[in-house]
Amino acid sequence: MIQEIQLSREQELRIQVEFGQQLMITLKTGTAEIFGAEMASHRTYSFTGISFPIFTWYGCTLQIQGEAKHYISNNSLMISYLNIHSILQHKREISRENINIRGPRVLIAGPIDSGKSSLCKILINYATRFGENPCFVDLDIGQGEITIPGTLSTTIVHEPIDIEEGFSLSNPLVYFYGNLTPTENTTLFSNLLNKITQSVNEKLQISQKSRSSGLIINTMGWVDGFGYSILFKTITLFEVDYVLVLEIVLLEKPIGIKNRDSNFRRTTRFFRIQKYFYGALNNFSPFVISFDFQAFIFLKIFRVNPQQNQNQTSEIYSQDPRFQIMEITPDQSLEYSICAVSFGKFEENQNYDKNLVREENVAGFLFVSKVEPETQTIWFLSPTQTQFPGNILLFDDLQWK
């Protein structure tokens, strides 16, 4: 069914598209934006499994086709978000005039489903529309805005985020945590937080424009206990100037967001991984590739238990006595796993500090589709056929099935 919807000045259309449904939207007249990114006139956008708003400052006409829940609201928070952007933009302009003053560093905090990622997108898009190149740091391992869940990642954003495709994967810096909650391995998470902070600071030293554009940091939905400690540590490490707290003190929940149950979040994670291999619109064709077991070093973290793991083939090396990082021989238990491709490379008769491998940034991810122990062959789904930068694959508990 095709509908035509008129929005008046400073109204928004709030939309919920379920997974398995598809909604097509076209801007027919006027101007409108989604999370701060301008819609192109007469271009049709496709959506599935997402909750989002379409906001207009001056009025517009939209044509929608497909299945979705939607309603028009006069209670937009976009003016509040624009005011926040104005404060950040003022500091960026001061930074450009004085190289000794850095750009704004803002952290978004709040519980699960408070809309942290949505507000990050709005602030990023408004910054890029003003010609800025902000650095986005995504610490929400449960969702993963830049690549896939189970990672800590960062990227310099040069243009508004694509409304359908999301963040560009041209040059992100990614650290593989391999789980969806920091309590699984608090030491590793803390170490990766240190690493990504160091990497971001080094990046910003190289580019004065990005340094003056500042940081926008997305965080987890865990705000008490260890989660609070991580928040405090993040604020300290990144020397944050502004903390925006959603649904607690300072701001209400962003537009277009409704509370999601655990099944919805699980499905969202599934589609985030699918998007990595197949694209947001299923417009990518990943490669099926196979390798002999000897082509890689396979490393995996195991939780300490009384029984010795049967796959262990070398000494244990770990910085946390509660966890054992082992070199393993692949078997069928690895099927459906997501593994990270490390930049590290083991050469024969070459010493390599194995303690550091797990905490280095990674080049990308593979999906293990099949393991054949009898032929010593492992099959992967890969987004590229290019030669891998190293010969180390990192595994944890992250799966896609």
> Which residues span the domain enclosing 260?
78-278
H-assigned helices in 207-346: 208-213, 226-237, 262-278
Domain C-terminal end among 73, 93, 109: 73
CATH number of the domain bearing residue 352: 2.40.30.330
Count of CB atoms within 10 A of residue 89's CB?
A: 20
Q: Are residues 6 and 124 in the same domain?
A: no
Q: Are residues 260 and 150 in the same domain?
A: yes
Per the domain annotation, does 400 fall within a domain?
Answer: no
- Residue 34 near residue 52 (C-beta atoms within 8 A): yes
Write the DSSP symbol of residue 32.
-
CA distance 274 to 177: 19
- Please name the amino acid found at residue 122: I
Q: Are residues 235 and 255 in the same domain?
A: yes
For residue 312, what are its two tokens?
């262990």
- Residue 172 near residue 276 (C-beta atoms within 8 A): no
- Please name the amino acid found at residue 398: L
H-assigned helices in 180-334: 186-206, 208-213, 226-237, 262-278
Low-confidence ranges of the chain (pLDDT < 70): 248-261, 303-323, 348-355
Domain C-terminal end among 48, 73, 98: 73
Per the domain annotation, does 324 fall within a domain?
Answer: yes
| Percent of the chain scoring above 70 in pLDDT | 89
Domain C-terminal end among 278, 296, 324: 278
Q: Are residues 29 and 106 in the same domain?
A: no
How high is the pLDDT of residue 378? Answer: 97
Q: For tokens 């035509």, name the residue.
A: 4
Q: Are residues 368 and 382 in the same domain?
A: yes
Tens-digit pLDDT profile for residues 263-274: 778 888 899 999
Q: Are residues 54 and 83 in the same domain?
A: no
Per the domain annotation, does 385 fall within a domain?
Answer: yes
Q: Are residues 149 and 216 in the same domain?
A: yes
Q: Are residues 292 and 251 in the same domain?
A: no
Per the domain annotation, does 401 fall within a domain?
Answer: no
How high is the pLDDT of residue 354? Answer: 62
Domain count, the chain: 3
Tens-digit pLDDT profile for residues 46-100: 998 888 999 999 999 999 999 888 999 998 999 999 999 999 999 999 999 998 9
H-assigned helices in 52-185: 78-97, 116-129
The end-to-end CA distance of the chain, in Å, is: 33
Per the domain annotation, does 305 fall within a domain?
Answer: yes
CATH number of the domain bearing residue 186: 3.40.50.300
Per the domain annotation, does 389 fall within a domain?
Answer: yes
Exposed/middle/buried for 150, CB within 10 Å: 0-12, 13-18, 19+?
Answer: buried
Nearest to 13 by CA among 162, 263, 244, 45: 45
Element (H, E) at 175: strand 173-176
Phi, psi of 99 (to 5 degrees): -65, -15
